[in-house]
């Protein structure tokens, strides 16, 4: 929500693909550290995580390739509308994400995970803002996870998205390596703090934080899409 818009503001003359690639370089480290921290303390639903992560990896690579060919301008106006729907749904369902009760098992679980991973993976590689929030919402709404479990799962899938997109951006010369690595240090520190806070205060806290983050995303993406 903050990193990509900040890069576009600070480096307005840089190619969009280079800024997205730099953001992936910075973000993958913090997300990986956060995923590892969650994995040590939160039960991980690997039956969902593995197919979703595999699908997200391939789709994110395709999305990163596509963004170097086609500007993602049309998503700027669509994104705030989707986020509004997510925020309203989460706010109206007071018990949404309070209980961890996975609703899919076996082949159905894998199919849903592949679909979710593919869709969000492509989006993350192609554009990116709000990917973590979308993943959390999907794992709560369609898989029956609580917010803490969904956050842990989302981190693992998001790591795969970042690595795949970074592979293409790096190969195509669309990464500002020195800047990205300096930003990565800050990402790691923030991820360590955020994960500890989320685990300590549980799903109720994560739900509130989720709503605040999505609200901020709505304001920012609405401004970018309609007023900027």
Annotate 155-171 with three-state secondary structure: HHHHHHHHHHHHHHHHH
Is residue 152 a contact partner of residue 44, using CB atoms and an 8 Å limit?
Answer: yes
- In the chain, where the domains are located: 15-227
The CA–CA distances, whole Å, from 76 to 9, 126, 133 equal: 16, 12, 16
Q: CB neighbours (10 Å) of residue 119?
A: 15
Render pLDDT for 52-70 as a digit per residue (tens, 0 to 9).
999 999 999 999 999 888 8
Which of 75-89, 131-145, 177-191, 207-221 has the least mean pLDDT? 75-89
User: How confident is the model at residue 187, as a pLDDT?
Assistant: 92
* CA–CA separation, 78 and 220 (whole Å): 13
Query: pLDDT-based confidence at 119, cuts 50/70/90?
Result: very high
Quote the pLDDT of residue 181.
Answer: 95
Weakest mean pLDDT among 134-138, 175-179, 215-219: 215-219
Looking at every residue in the chain, the average pLDDT score rounds to 87
pLDDT of 105 strictly over 80: no
Question: Residues with Cβ < 8 Å from 152, sequence gap 6 or more?
Answer: 35, 38, 39, 42, 44
| pLDDT tens by residue, 78-98 | 778 878 888 888 788 777 766
């Amino acid at each position: 929500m903050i990193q990509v818009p900040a890069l576009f503001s600070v480096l307005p003359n840089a190619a969009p693909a280079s800024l997205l690639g730099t953001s992936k370089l910075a973000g993958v480290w913090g997300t990986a550290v956060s995923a590892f921290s969650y994995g040590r303390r939160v039960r991980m639903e690997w039956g969902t995580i593995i197919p979703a992560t595999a699908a997200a990896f391939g789709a994110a690579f395709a999305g990163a390739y596509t963004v170097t060919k086609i500007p993602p301008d049309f998503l700027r106006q669509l994104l705030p509308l989707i986020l509004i729907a997510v925020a309203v749904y989460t706010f109206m369902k007071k018990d949404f994400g309070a209980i961890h009760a996975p609703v899919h098992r076996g082949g159905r679980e894998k199919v849903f995970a592949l679909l979710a991973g593919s869709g969000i993976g492509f989006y993350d590689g192609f554009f990116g803002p709000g990917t973590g929030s979308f993943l959390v919402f999907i794992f709560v709404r369609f898989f029956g996870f609580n917010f803490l479990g969904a956050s842990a799962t989302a981190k693992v899938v998001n790591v795969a998205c970042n690595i795949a997109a970074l592979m293409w951006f790096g190969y195509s010369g669309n990464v500002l390596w020195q800047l990205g690595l300096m930003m990565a240090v800050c990402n790691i520190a923030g991820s360590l703090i955020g994960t500890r806070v989320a685990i300590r205060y549980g799903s109720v806290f994560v739900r509130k934080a989720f709503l605040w983050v999505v609200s901020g995303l709505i304001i920012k993406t609405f401004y970018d899409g309609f007023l900027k």
